[in-house]
Amino acid sequence: MQTIALRTVSFVIGVSAIGLAALAGSLNSNSASANSPKQPVLTLEQMKAEYRRPEAIPFPKSNPYSVEKASLGKKLYFDTRLSAANLLSCGSCHSPAYGWGDGQPTGVGHGMKKLGRRSPTIVNAAFGQIFMWDGRAATLEEQALGPIQADVEMNLPIDKLIEKLKAIEGYGPLFQAVFPGQGITPETIAKSIATYERTVVSGRARFDSWIEGDENAISREAIRGFILFNTKGGCTQCHSGWNFTDDSFHDIGLATVDIGRAKILPGVEKMMHAFKTPGLREISNRGLYMHSGSMQTLEAVMDHYSQGGIDRPSRSAEMKPRGLSKQEQADLVAFMKTLTSEMSPTSAPLLPR
């Protein structure tokens, strides 16, 4: 696994907020007593340690990073000629202007057709284990070619894609430089786009400064929300690690006819209406929410989780009524807003002619 370095950070445990640490212990104790078997009680410092930023972006050995490959991938990512109508690019549905989504309830594809699911963000995709809402793509390379070929999305079959790119004189030398002797193939296109996507990583957020020791980086409301997130809220059952996702699939009790992961794993009851857990980094810039775009605000999301969603056989065991007060919900929202960073603006690339 190849990596390229992110900004190296040091982790310093905060020594203040003793009262908040006591609150964490109290909430953990209450949570453990309400749910058997009892869970270990974590201190505030131990909770913080679970979310340390990685030091590097991972790249697979089968597709190592290079500046030239990422540059080629960026051109392909934003090139509308990768669609049948020359109107859509990867960046149309996964735009930096909308937290690398599209700001719509559900995606819009070929012929302005509304799609059935929301366009997921590509932020931190480099750290993902499986891709798309239902997990039908095992790698980013596989994911990159999927929407291009799908008739309801970009609607460009692979043979037509290759023909089109080979007809653009400027692409030939770029592919030859990055992939000597291979040229323009489905594999080299996928590797280029996936390499660029892996470079789209969250910047440092206020939350990162806080877990490194700056006790004033986030509000007391947000700190209370962080503690609730790790205790009474039960959020870490699915939203774990620095990117706040377990990369797994859960039915969270939404009203939907979409069977989700069950289409890939038919006959597995818990996969009915189950969708991939999204990461929470940059969440403030990524509304609307849920696979269906059915919730407009983070406040609505918190209310749903507090109530526990629709009780049905497929509903995840982690989903249950949490009885969160309005103040607790507000605290959780305040915490999640600290996960948004000042990401560098993304310029449009000059495309080959």
Q: Is 327 exposed, middle or buried (0-12, 13-18, 19+ CB in 10 A)?
A: exposed
For 331, counting Cβ atoms within 10 Å of its Cβ (0-12 exposed, 13-18 middle, 19+ buried), the class is buried
Do 163 and 235 contact (CB within 8 A), yes or no? no
DSSP string, 107-163: -B-GGGPBPSS-----TTGGG-SSBSTT--BSSHHHHHHHHHH-TTTT---HHHHHH
Q: What DSSP string describes 265-320?
A: STT-GGGTTBEEPPP-TTGGGS-SBSTT--B-SHHHHHHHHHHT----TTS-TT--
Cβ neighbours of residue 216 closer than 8 Å, sequence gap 6 or more: none
Helix (H) or strand (E) holding 57: strand 56-59
Distance, CA of 166 to CA of 209 (rounded, Å): 47
Distance of CA 171 to the CA centre of its chain: 30
Spatial contact of 105 and 288, defined as CB atoms under 8 Å apart:
yes
Does residue 26 contact residue 43 with C-beta atoms inside 8 Å? Answer: no
DSSP state at residue 338: T
Tokens, residue 303: 């209310």
Rounded distance, CA 103 to CA 286, Å?
A: 7
Q: Are 120 and 101 in contact (CB under 8 A)?
A: yes
Rounded Cα–Cα distance for residues 291 and 275 (Å): 7
What residues are annotated to the active site?
153
